[in-house]
Structure 1
Amino acid sequence: MKIVMIGEAATHRDEIADQLDFKAEFAALPREAHESDAWDRQIDGADVLVAMRFQRRGAPPRFRLLHAPGAGLDGIDFAALPPGCTVCNVFEHEIPMAEYTLACMLDHEIGLGAARASFDNRRWSQSYLERKPRGELNGKTVVVIGFGRIGQAVAARARAFGLEVVAISSRAMDGKVEGPADRAFTPRQLNEVLPHADYVVLCCPLNDATRDSFGAPQFSAMSRDAVLINIARAAIVNEQALYSALSDQRIAGAYLDVWYRYPAGGGEAVPPSFYDFAALPNAFCTPHISGWTQGLFARRYAFIAGNITRQRNGEPLLNVVHDGRQATSRP
């Protein structure tokens, strides 16, 4: 069995190999070699391709299974896949991403970093006597946009801190949705809900319906004390509208972990956005770390190894998002 791993995924060869009870041939390719002739020759005839991105202009190389090492599928051109190719993805990131989201909320209410930075033995008496009450999460309202695995993991933890959870989901019906939400509304009702939100968390996938869907009208609907947390995809939020809302203090702040531009390879230097969000005092910027934990890799690549074993044994695969066998059999 031949397994080709591309980009960052290639650094996790051992996590897969250690889980297999058979020997496999592995090939590692850099992401920047994408769409080269040498890249195609390495992939052609592979049983499994592990990659977050697949875009082609000409005839694609042949492979049986494309396994994304994450949940996002916006980097895959399904129309360009070779005939008969099946696509699977993997989750396991909802745990760290939900923890990151709650850390953002707690940071906004408590401000531990600022409190520690202001502590000075020489000014202890003054600091103690002049301390001001801080915020707390209990009793606040969080609007969770997208109520899949990540959204529900965020909601469960938010409820434990005493927040009211309002879900925005296409599955919402009569104010309810399956999962840990107090209330639920459809995406069309979002602007009616936003004025009541203390926190707005973006957890929805990037697709034609969500791209650029959060813009000036949504920021205008939000309270000036509200905070946006984006752990989904940057392009869901209009870039200019976000910068304007923060620089004009239309909202209290934003925690931004996903970005509008990413380097294609290790040697490329690109800015994360056209605007300098990091220079804004009410923007808390992190380099796409919300799901990047040691536990994540162990869980994800054990799952991928399990699917590779199923592929070899002719067993049904898990997390199938595109069944190539059915696609090729359609009239």
Structure 2
Amino acid sequence: MKILLVGEAANHRNQLANWLEIPCEILTVPFPADGDVSFAALADTVDVVVSLRIPHLAQPARQFRLLQVPGAGLDGINFTSLPETAWVCNVFEHEIPIAEYVLMAMIHWATGFDAMRQAFSFDNWATAYRQRIPHQEIAGKTLGLLGLGHIGKAIAKRARAFGMRIVAVQRSSVDLEGPTDAVLPLDRLHEMLQQSDFLVIACPLTEETRGIIGKAELEAMPNSSVLINVSRAEIVQERPLYDALLARRIAGAYLDVWYRYPIGENPNAKPSSMHFDRLPNVVCTPHSSAWTDGIFERRYRFIAGNITRLHNGKPLENVVRMPNRERLSR
């Protein structure tokens, strides 16, 4: 088996090699596939491509058998550039650190931790002690979840342990296993927004969800509510979010995902057209909520397993697109 690791995936060659159970040749190209004219030719020399992004190609790749996306999101994949005979699979494992990030953000906001720390004074201890300001608790607060997939359920499970009330919105309003108080269909989004102390964006970016949170949705939220985005920036409209935060129509935000990234033809891109980082009620982080040492071990163990299954003719896991069977039979 011949494997091509593209872009960030190239950094994990050794982790993949450690988990592989079959002899493989691993090639690495430490640039993103975006815009690289040689990508199709290179991809046609291997059996498996591991990449978060596949650009639009004038001539689609023809040969490789599996595109293994080393993450959950598929919005960076141009499916028309793939061989019709290729399987496409993704991998999760990011729900654990993302859920921890969300709980950290909610506790950080409710406790006013930064102000609490700044209020401490060794030299003026008596004053600091006597002038303590009561802070909030997240117990009893309502968590609104836009999306109840792997990430949403992991967040809900942990939030339940802190005594939060949980209301989710997803396309299907059925949730037989998740620890939620209510699951609403998408057409009742505003009902969920109106009662959310914290709103967490946890759904995938699709044509249906792109820009689904705009001016009207932000105005439906309580003025005291906090938005936390750990999915894709484009789910929330950029300018309305900035204006709502600037005017304090919502209390604050934790933003870990961005509207532009320094990849492909724009290596010096800014994260947004507006300076969210200059707003005192916004915490900005560089798409780091899932960037832990544990996630890469878990993901590349899974990827190695899928490559082994492909080699042995066994069913693949986390299949998001099956091959065109008519092409396979030719």
2:299 corresponding residue in structure 1: 300
Where 1:128 maps in the other structure, the secondary structure is helix
Q: Matched residues in 1 for 2:300 and 2:206: separation?
A: 26
Instruction: State the AA in 1 paired with 2:31.
Output: R
Instruction: State the AA in 1 paired with 2:136.
Output: G
1:193 corresponding residue in structure 2: 192
Q: Alpha carbon RMSD of aligned pairs, Å?
A: 1.7
Instruction: State the AA in 2 paired with 1:198.
Output: D
Deviation at 1:37, TM superposition (A): 4.1
1:171 aligns with 2:205: no
Q: Is the 8 A contact 1:4 1:48 kept in 2?
A: yes
- What TM-score do the two structures reach when normalised by structure 2? 0.95
Q: Count residues with an aligned counterpart.
A: 328
Deviation at 1:114, TM superposition (A): 2.7
- What TM-score do the two structures reach when normalised by structure 1? 0.95
Deviation at 1:77, TM superposition (A): 1.4
1:120 corresponding residue in structure 2: 121
1:132 corresponding residue in structure 2: 133
1:275 aligns with 2:278: no
1:101 corresponding residue in structure 2: 102
Q: Matched residues in 2 for 1:303 and 1:282: separation?
A: 39
Instruction: State the AA in 1 paired with 2:90.
Output: N
Where 1:167 maps in the other structure, the secondary structure is strand
1:262 corresponding residue in structure 2: 261
1:248 aligns with 2:240: no
Q: Matched residues in 1 for 2:198 and 2:56: separation?
A: 40
Deviation at 1:267, TM superposition (A): 9.1
Q: Is the 8 A contact 1:48 1:66 kept in 2?
A: yes
Q: Matched residues in 2 for 1:327 and 1:275: separation?
A: 49
Q: Is the 8 A contact 1:137 1:162 kept in 2?
A: yes
Instruction: State the AA in 1 paired with 2:183.
Output: A
1:52 corresponding residue in structure 2: 52
Where 2:67 maps in the other structure, the secondary structure is strand
Cα 1:108–1:36 change in 2 (3 A) is closer
Cα 1:32–1:44 change in 2 (3 A) is same
Bigger Cα displacement from structure 2, 5-14 vs 164-173: 164-173
CA deviation vs aligned residue, 1:259-280 (integer Å, no higher than 9, x gap): 0000016992221000000000
Cα 1:146–1:326 change in 2 (3 A) is farther
Q: Matched residues in 1 for 2:298 and 2:200: separation?
A: 25
Which runs of 5 or more structure 1 residues have no equivalent in the other structure? Answer: none
Q: Is the 8 A contact 2:103 2:158 kept in 1?
A: yes
Deviation at 1:326, TM superposition (A): 3.6
Deviation at 1:329, TM superposition (A): 6.5
Q: Is the 8 A contact 1:49 1:63 kept in 2?
A: yes
Bigger Cα displacement from structure 2, 196-205 vs 38-47: 38-47
1:18 aligns with 2:26: no
Bigger Cα displacement from structure 2, 113-122 vs 264-273: 264-273
Q: Matched residues in 2 for 1:20 and 1:205: separation?
A: 30
Where 1:27 maps in the other structure, the secondary structure is strand
Which runs of 5 or more structure 2 residues have no equivalent in the other structure? Answer: none
2:73 corresponding residue in structure 1: 72
Instruction: State the AA in 2 paired with 1:49.
Output: V
Deviation at 1:79, TM superposition (A): 2.3
Percent identity of paired positions between Structure 1 and Structure 2: 47
Cα 1:164–1:92 change in 2 (3 A) is same
Q: Matched residues in 1 for 2:111 and 2:218: separation?
A: 24
Instruction: State the AA in 2 paired with 1:193.
Output: M
Where 1:4 maps in the other structure, the secondary structure is strand
Q: Matched residues in 2 for 1:195 and 1:219: separation?
A: 9
Q: Is the 8 A contact 1:212 1:237 kept in 2?
A: yes
Q: Matched residues in 2 for 1:56 and 1:328: separation?
A: 21
Q: Is the 8 A contact 1:177 1:184 kept in 2?
A: no
Q: Matched residues in 2 for 1:299 and 1:2: separation?
A: 21
Q: Matched residues in 2 for 1:237 and 1:36: separation?
A: 30
Cα 1:33–1:290 change in 2 (3 A) is closer
Deviation at 1:33, TM superposition (A): 5.6
Q: Matched residues in 2 for 1:269 and 1:324: separation?
A: 37
Q: Matched residues in 1 for 2:124 and 2:4: separation?
A: 60
